[in-house]
């Protein structure tokens, strides 16, 4: 059922408070969370592209951390006619850890603040939200890093006076950095809320 104005106000206030709490926790514990996420990002890069051997690290920068990748080229990568990046070349890219943690905070904030949810429903939805957020980090952060690497190839081609086809990783990076990550986080939260309601209902029925 649609929320009336009073319910909407209560939900908005609750959502803001939960978002602030989770944001503070994510900021305070961002370094161990980032270290935990690195193997998943590494796995995602290797799955999305076989052109690089990635080396990942958390690098402190400007009161934040970067998820930094040093990528060694594994096979020749044509950049423009007559110009190829040869195996053994090393390229680096990075993305801010704080930006990476915002989508999980959005997903869990929606789940924890959603009105009218029973405790069992909320617990199931929260577990699903954590797992789905981990899956999204594994899928999206590597695309952001690969897209940043691809920008370097595009710049090389431009300097050579050539055009280079835009690969999927660059299109995906632009989508994700233009709000796509936040959209996916909201959709993940709503999906987990619906799944929690469905599964909790089944548990109660079977019980």
Per-residue pLDDT of the chain (207 residues; tens, 9 = 90+): 466 677 888 889 999 999 999 999 999 999 999 999 999 999 999 999 999 999 999 999 888 899 999 999 999 888 877 788 889 889 999 999 999 999 999 999 999 999 877 888 889 999 999 999 999 999 999 999 999 999 988 888 888 777 788 889 999 999 999 999 999 999 999 999 999 888 876 665 655
Query: What is residue 161's predicted lDDT score, i.e. its pLDDT?
Result: 77
Token pair for residue 14? Answer: 């609750």
CA angle (126 as vertex; 203, 117 as ends), nearest 5: 60
Exposed (0-12), middle (13-18) or buried (19+): which is 183, by Cβ within 10 Å?
middle
**Would you say how long the chain is, in residues?**
207
**φ, ψ of residue 153 in degrees (nearest 5):** -65, -40
Angstrom distance (rounded) from CA 16 to CA 71: 39
Query: What is residue 78's predicted lDDT score, i.e. its pLDDT?
Result: 83
Query: What is residue 142's predicted lDDT score, i.e. its pLDDT?
Result: 96
Q: Give this prediction's pTM.
A: 0.89
Contacts (Cβ under 8 Å, ≥6 apart) of 8: none
**Collapsing DSSP states into helix, strand and coil, what is residue 77?**
strand
Contacts (Cβ under 8 Å, ≥6 apart) of 29: none
Angstrom distance (rounded) from CA 65 to CA 7: 38
Query: What is residue 79's predicted lDDT score, i.e. its pLDDT?
Result: 82
CB 159 within 8 A of CB 87: no
Token pair for residue 52? Answer: 């690089």
């Amino acid at each position: 059922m649609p929320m009336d104005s009073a319910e909407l106000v209560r939900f908005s206030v609750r959502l803001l408070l939960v978002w602030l709490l989770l944001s503070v926790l994510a900021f305070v514990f961002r370094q161990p969370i980032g270290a935990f996420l690195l193997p998943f990002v590494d796995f995602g890069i290797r799955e999305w592209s076989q052109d690089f051997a990635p080396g990942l690290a958390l690098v402190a920068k400007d009161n934040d951390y970067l998820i930094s990748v040093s990528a060694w080229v594994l096979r020749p990568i044509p950049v423009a006619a007559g110009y190829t990046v040869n195996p053994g070349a090393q390229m680096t890219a990075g993305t801010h850890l704080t930006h990476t943690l915002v989508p999980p905070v959005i997903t869990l904030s929606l789940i924890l603040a959603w009105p009218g949810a029973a405790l069992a429903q909320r617990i199931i939805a929260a577990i699903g939200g954590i797992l789905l957020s981990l899956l999204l980090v594994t899928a999206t952060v590597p695309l952001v890093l690969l897209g940043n690497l691809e920008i370097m190839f595009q710049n090389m081609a431009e300097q050579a006076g050539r055009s280079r086809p835009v690969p999927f990783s660059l299109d995906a990076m632009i989508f994700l950095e233009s709000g796509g990550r936040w959209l996916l986080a909201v959709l993940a939260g709503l999906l987990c809320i619906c799944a929690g309601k469905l599964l909790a209902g089944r548990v109660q029925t079977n019980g």
